[in-house]
Structure 1
């Protein structure tokens, strides 16, 4: 007797085996095949962030499951849904949490400009039983550009930082889960297509001091997100890109074949001469 297969687990297993660059499109296809899995897939699988324009302020903001209500998304700049929800009301944070959300959006807008020199940032907070929670979203896309030699390259960086903050006496306990989605591509007639895509997830928990002013929460979350982004960026650069460089180096040598053959022959002669002594 065979055990029953969970459709949700099968969908996740399928997504892990497909190209990470096409995750958003593949989720849409899975939802069309199994509509009952839509909510679970949207909550469990991170995809590159979509951008919308706030009608009140004219500023771009990022869309995710944490600011979604049906087919509408709440703008962090106006605190209103785009487009308006059907019943005229949507889930919005309390007055205290909204004040912190506004400060956080101002702070991370400066962070985005300093570290990314462009892109879009959005911060969303919401109330929970023993404190509050939120997410910090950052996106930077590089449009397709043609470099020397006819190489066309493009790329995008999406980072999703979800945290929970539990208030305690003079301190707060923060739990941060960070996801980075990186897509890089290149195309040239002589070399063909190159696609380097994937995501990385890291978690950290930390107790940090707070004052009577809620602004200390924004400062603490900002420090944690900044430290986590720096660690994940260095890890991507040193480990993942380093490994990709080694693989490419093993597949294709930069030196001419004649030079490589001459070096191998010289090395073989030295070994043979040492063995004859």
Structure 2
């Protein structure tokens, strides 16, 4: 029997905090219990925010926690061609279109539509444009001229092609969802798959990477629970395998907010410098020794 494959996939745009420790320890413990493999993936597609010192900090913190991982480490910035190929498959299906509004343009359009404009699960307003607002000939001409643009998934067309989708949830969602969960990708609107200056997005790259790395179990925080809907849709459209998902609780600050990498008080390196031990971290995040 093929051993299960887990992965921990941080972005090197800051130092790891207690929330990352929870996820990394949980993945490592589950992999060990199942006799499986643990991969480390560096999600560094945002080259403006990701830095080598943060990647070094990630490996230092994980090693200090006693977590081991297989080599080589996959860095997304080294695999843009794989994401371009996946995007080309979606384009060949007629499911991708270019949009040209800036963030300011989108904010103005949303404001003009009033307070009732729908928002995605992260709280951001849905894209207020549509594919029908411009002819394909005009889009092509504007792209060829070098105009900045985003490449979006035509959600209506994608849902018509894929039909209803579900995923197997071994953890719990923010509303207590578990077991077989119905996907709701429509709540994200026409998500961005790539930009002129960036050949991929989080949604596209994570789906491609999980498939290429043979990941069988995706274990991550509840803040990404409803992102799974988009991932299931892309897996279906690209003919990729479906992992088992397990979303875990989040570590929050005293105000109830999800931890941020800018919160230095919860950074593992700061806690370590203050004398904390790996056992202390396990106790704080409530992940007992296996």
Relative to the length of structure 2, the TM-score reads 0.24
Structure that is richer in strand per residue: 1
Which has the larger Rg?
1
Relative to the length of structure 1, the TM-score reads 0.24
